[in-house]
Structure 1
Amino acid sequence: MNQFRFREWPVYKDAQKLFSLLLEVVRKMPREYRFELGSQLLRSGSSVILNIAEGSGKQSEKELNRFIETALGSAYETLANIDILKNNKLIKNDDFTSAQQVITGICNQLGAFKKKLDL
């Protein structure tokens, strides 16, 4: 069994892709918004990745499920963060659309994963 099995999961790879996209969004933000809004965006995005990874190391499906649920919540939080940026004209439409598409895919994958694990 692969010790770091999460690295093979498509949802983990997509979450990494999302984080790279979020980094670019933050780099393009006006400087005065990077610390507060940019930091929050990156924290919620990294939380998706970290909860997937941490959950994969748990011994039971019940424990893994809890981390998948947390990752899903973080994905929703990330979407809310980009909504805030869009509503305040702090993100380009193309970046918003790309991020939203990736987040939607992640949410779909996590939802299916959770459904598979639900006992």
Structure 2
Amino acid sequence: MPFKFESLNVWHDAMDLNDKIHLLTKQHFPKDEQFVLSPQRRRASDSIVLNIAEGSTGQSNATFKNFLNYSLRSGIEVVSCLFLARRRNYIDKDLFKSLYNQIEILSKK
């Protein structure tokens, strides 16, 4: 029996974003960020997905809305991490823009 969150397009979109963020930290970040920015970004990205799932199951609409707000805040945290990565020249402007746009679209959902 599938859980409610599995039918939510926003959850699937968040999963896709999460995959990209995890791959990004593996491919583009230097070793000295291995214990600083990389895990912070991964946790924030994971939090987007996990809060959508947690809030959707057995909760009131008001509670679900709170969890969606937590997801939104985590998305904003990922955006801030993108800005740091761009300023430190870990990612180029095209990759930054692509991920930024994806988070912006996800946040509006």
- In the superposition, the TM-score normalised over structure 1's length comes to 0.84
User: Equivalent residues in 2 for 1:97-108 (5 A)?
Assistant: 97-108=97-108
SS in 1 for 2:89: coil
CA RMSD of aligned residues (A): 1.3
Query: Which residue matches 1:77?
Result: 77
Count matched residues: 108
Q: Is the 8 A contact 1:25 1:95 kept in 2?
A: no
**Structure 2 vs 1, CA of residues 75 and 81 (structure 1 numbering), >3 Å: closer, same or farther?**
same
Structure 1: which 5+ residue stretches go unaligned? 110-119
Structure 2: which 5+ residue stretches go unaligned? none
- In the superposition, the TM-score normalised over structure 2's length comes to 0.91
How far the C-alpha of 1:3 sits from its partner, in A, is: 4.7
- The residue identity in structure 2 corresponding to 1:10 is N
Query: Which residue matches 2:12?
Result: 13
Identity %: 28
Find out whether 1:47 has 2:60 as its counterpart.
no
Q: Is the 8 A contact 1:51 1:67 kept in 2?
A: yes
User: Equivalent residues in 2 for 1:53-64 (5 A)?
Assistant: 53-64=53-64
Structure 2 Cα separation of the partners of residues 94 and 34 of structure 1: 23
Structure 1 Cα separation of the partners of residues 41 and 87 of structure 2: 15
How far the C-alpha of 1:53 sits from its partner, in A, is: 0.2
